Structure 1
């Protein structure tokens, strides 16, 4: 088993795919954070689909599957799509979601038309061009990796140089504008950089699935932290983990496409993060909601005892268990036991005029103070 794994990891093709997956996860994880924080999740989807006509135009210009020219074409049409969205939202009454839908549909339709036209030319060089729709990681060459690495280095370098400006624009563009930052220019640079991330992932996961690679790592990272610095690092790690996991799973089970497995791996991290992340996860929210309801029930029982004592002008007024169940329904005993453990009520034997003592619930001084505090807080909220 160990020998098989060693042989697998020393495979030249798998090594290339893993390196490409690491580069893809790194750049998409970092840049995706800014897209998520700027509420532009659909922007990555639009630009990834808008890259298809660029792929086809690059092929038509080069006459062959030259990855450099194809990526340049994809970057051009992806950036052009982003600029069209910007113009539509700023110079018309269209909302952002409508502009995204229009641009995505038009550019992708144009790309499909070009792809169909190329496939109808019977050009042997166009073989595998449609792989850019869903990716073809196994076809990555070491020369392609150098190009992907160069694009990744440029994108990360820009993030490092403009970190403070990007951070301010992402969180508070109005304040950034008041300080004299060129918000529109910075917004355009961020958009172009997201297009760069899309270009890096074209051959790995394709134009259809690339949007998930831009958004998913950032969404998962956001569940675990509220600091941008930590979010960016964690998003990059999640992106690289998903990329490598998908590549290895594809190698272990030949015939399964690498791109979709990468997306599924990252999506699995998103699901875990949404479910288990502290303070944000669904499980955490469910536990917090259950605790809040239980605490509210304790408070209701305590204030009921207090109001009864006030009504009878007797701080030692005793209440029967059955009477409290009538007020709040069955099951108040567990709440009373909890209050008793806190020293706020007592299960006290009282004289009732009947043979033998009867036990009833009585507020303690600590319980009276707590009930008054709760009622004061409620009164202030109502005011």
Structure 2
């Protein structure tokens, strides 16, 4: 099946429509909430929460005795919240930093979850469990009720962001100022953390424990390269997340033996790479272009200053001079002479050059700036 056939079947085929809608909504939710995790410099938080959810999934199965998706998600939610607040408690009650607490809880909960998973696989109903699918996700198991749950979480997240937009914005950019305004920062932290845990939990079935943190952070990291405006960043992150879900699902559906979750993450990684390279403000390509332009301008200014030192020895600044006199200047090139002429700083007549009034004024400004910098 080609990609074109896939998109034509999305409207009519129940399974494809469900998976595509589910992954797109998941991408939107992760993009919106992941933006705040990136801005709070808590990139490892998503990784810790997703791994902390694993023992909750297994314990929920052991309690219920059946693979009920709602029960498993509740177990993941409880376990994820416990792990998250343990991280917060460790940071506040001990001298350990947040990255140490995140790594500690991540390894502890994931190790405990893998131990429980090994125990479950030896049980008589192990085949019914299929809990190993939560490690890397299996989007094909999504049903309409899962999509509705994702849509509800997306709606709740959007509503909360709109209601507390000012508070979240101030808190994430200036926590101390937020406290001085009387905002309940503890309450805001709990709300945001709970929403992030919810986003991770609903994505475990699709992307899996191992890759869920990438789904949370990649769209936000890509969006951060394009703007300094929080609202625009959240919008772009949601778009990147949705497109990652749609195209990752499309590639998986049109190929054989390619898992949907890893492909979604890889597509999100492509958006990150493109953003890191081509974004106008922070992209590597435009940074190199600006560096080259600044270096070229600096070379031109040095050459112009050298010409100014020669021209000011005459009463008439337009007095012509031989081009070969510029050979005494180490930075002189034919290209720099052509660029100065194009900018109308000098005029060239055969083997002679002369400074224009515009070039003289520019050189005077550069000379004054240099003098002021020495002062």
What displacement does 1:136 show? 0.5
Equivalence map 1:1-383=2 (5 Å): 6-7=8-9, 9-124=11-126, 126-310=128-312, 315=317, 319-329=321-331, 332-348=333-349, 359-383=351-375
Match of 1:355 in 2: none
2:123 is paired with a residue whose SS is coil
Deviates further, 271-280 or 1-10: 1-10
Superimposed CA distance per residue, residues 270-326 of structure 1 (whole angstroms, 9 cap, x where no aligned partner): 211221122222211111111111111110100111233456888466654344234
Q: What is the CA–CA distance in structure 2 between the aligned matches of 1:94 and 1:319, rounded to whole Å?
A: 70
Q: How many residues align?
A: 373
Q: Distance in 2 between matches of 1:124 and 1:366?
A: 83
TM-score (norm 1): 0.90
Structure 2 distance, partners of 1:312, 1:103, is 76
Helix, strand or coil for the counterpart of 1:93?
Answer: coil
| Aligned-residue offset at 1:77 | 1.8
Unmatched runs of 5 consecutive residues or more in structure 1: 350-358
- What secondary structure, in the 3-state scheme, does the structure 2 residue paired with 1:362 have? strand
In structure 2, the CA distance between the partners of 1:360 and 1:3, relative to structure 1 (3 Å rule), is closer
Q: For each residue in 1:185-228, what CA deviation from the matched residue of structure 2 results, as whole angstroms up to 9, or x when unmatched?
A: 21122111111110111001001111111111111112222211
Aligned equivalents of 1:47, 1:5: Cα separation in 2: 34
Give the gaps of 5 or more residues in structure 2.
none
| Deviation for aligned residue 1:152 | 2.7
TM-superposed CA distance for 1:269, in Å, is 1.4
Could you tell me whether the CA contact under 8 Å between 1:301 and 1:332 is conserved in 2?
Answer: no
Alpha-carbon distance between aligned partners in 1 of 2:156 and 2:7, rounded to the nearest angstrom: 34
User: Which runs of at least 4 in structure 1 moved beyond 3 Å after TM superposition?
Assistant: 1-9, 124-127, 308-323
Q: For structure 1, which segment, 373-382 or 227-236, has the greater mean C-alpha deviation from structure 2 after superposition?
A: 373-382
Q: Give the structure-2-normalised TM-score.
A: 0.92
Cα deviation for residue 182 of structure 1 reads 0.9
Check the 8 A contact 2:64/2:71 in 1, yes or no. Answer: yes
195-204 or 221-230, which moves further after superposition? 221-230
Query: Could you tell me how far apart the structure 2 residues matched to 1:160 and 1:366 are?
Result: 53
CA contact (8 A) 2:6 2:250 kept: no
Assess if the C-alpha contact under 8 Å between 2:135 and 2:209 holds in 1: yes
